[in-house]
Chains A and B, each alone.
Chain A
Amino acid sequence: MALTLMKGSEAIAEAAIRAGARFFFGYPITPQTEIPEYMSARMPEVGGCFLQAESEVAAINMVYGAAGTGARVITSSSSPGVSLKQEGISYCAGAQLPCVILNVMRGGPGLGNIQASQGDYMQGVKGGGNGDYHLLTYAPSSVQEAIDIMMFAFEKAEKYRMPVLFLADGIIAQMMEPVEMPEMVDYKVDPEKKPWACTGWKPGDDPAKRGVINSIYIDTESLSIHNEHLQAIYAEARANEQMWENYKTEDAEYIITAFGTVARIAKTAIDELREQGVKVGLFRPISVWPYPYDAMRETICREQVKGVLDVEVNEGQMLEDVKLGLEGAKPIRFFGHYGSEFPTTDEIKNEILKMKEGK
Chain B
Amino acid sequence: MSVVFERTKLLTDKQFHYCPGCNHGIIHRLVAESIDELVQEGKLEAGNVMGVAPVGCSVFAYDYFNCDMYEAAHGRAPAVATGAKRARPNTIFFTYQGDCDLASIGTAEIVHAAHRGEKFVTIFVNNAIYGMTGGQMAPTTLVGQKTTTSPYGRDEAWCGAPIRIAEMLSTIPGSYYIERCACNNNANIIKTKKAIKKAFQYQLEGKGFCLIEVLSTCPTNWGLSPVEAMTWLEENMIPYYPLGVKKDKGAE
* Cβ–Cβ contact B82 & A51, under 8 A: yes
CB-CB under 8 A from B108, the residues of chain A are: 54-55, 57-58
Shortest distance between the CB of A68 and any CB in chain B (Å): 6
Residues in A neighbouring B47, C-beta threshold 8 A: 200-202, 205
B112 interface residue, CB < 8 Å from A? Answer: yes
- Report if A198 contacts B (CB, 8 A): yes
Residues of B within 8 A of A23 (CB): 83, 86-87
Q: For this complex, into which size category does the number of interface residues on chain A fall? A: 35 or more
Q: In the complex, how many angstroms separate the beta carbon of B158 from the nearest chain A beta carbon? A: 28
Determine whether A212 belongs to the interface, using a CB cutoff of 8 Å to chain B: yes
The answer, among A87, A95, A202, A213, for a CB contact under 8 Å with B46, is A202
* A211 proximity list for chain B (CB < 8 A): 50, 68-69
Q: Does A199 contact B (CB under 8 A)?
A: yes
Docked complex Cα distance between A1 and B59 (Å):
52
- Within 8 Å CB of B85, what residues of A? 65
Contact of B70 among A55, A65, A203, A204 (CB under 8 A): A65
The residue in A54, A61, A211 that gathers the most chain B C-beta atoms within 10 A of its C-beta is A61
Q: Is the CB of A66 within 8 A of B73?
A: no
Contact indicator A198/B70 (Cβ below 8 Å): yes
Q: How many A-B residue pairs have CB under 8 A?
A: 129
Interface centre among A23, A25, A198, A216 (most CB of B within 10 A): A198
A121 on the B face (CB < 8 A): no
Does B76 have its Cβ within 8 Å of any Cβ on chain A? yes
Any A CB within 8 A of the CB of B48:
yes
- In the bound complex, do residue A62 and residue B80 qualify as a contact, i.e. CB atoms below 8 Å apart? yes
Q: Are B10 and A213 in contact (CB under 8 A)?
A: no
B2-37: which residues lie under 8 A (CB-CB) from chain A? 9-10, 12
Please, how many residues of chain B have a CB less than 8 angstroms from a CB on the other chain?
A: 37
Instruction: Give A47-75 interface residues, CB cut-off 8 Å to B.
Output: 49, 51, 53-55, 57-59, 61-69, 71, 73
Q: Which residues from A are CB-within-8-Å of B67?
A: 201-203, 210
Please state if A62 and B62 are interface contacts (CB–CB under 8 Å): no
For chain B, residues 81 to 136, give those with C-beta under 8 angstroms from any C-beta of chain A: 81-88, 91, 108-109, 111-112, 115-116
A57 touching B48 in the complex, CB below 8 Å, given contacts A25-B83, A199-B68, A212-B62: no
The answer to whether B112 touches A54, judged by C-beta atoms less than 8 angstroms apart, is yes
Taking beta carbons and an 8 Å cutoff, which residues of A are in contact with B? 23, 25, 49, 51, 53-55, 57-59, 61-69, 71, 73, 87-88, 91, 95, 198-205, 207, 210-216, 218
> Which 5 pairs across A and B sit closest by C-beta, in order of nearness?
A65-B83, A202-B47, A62-B83, A61-B79, A198-B68
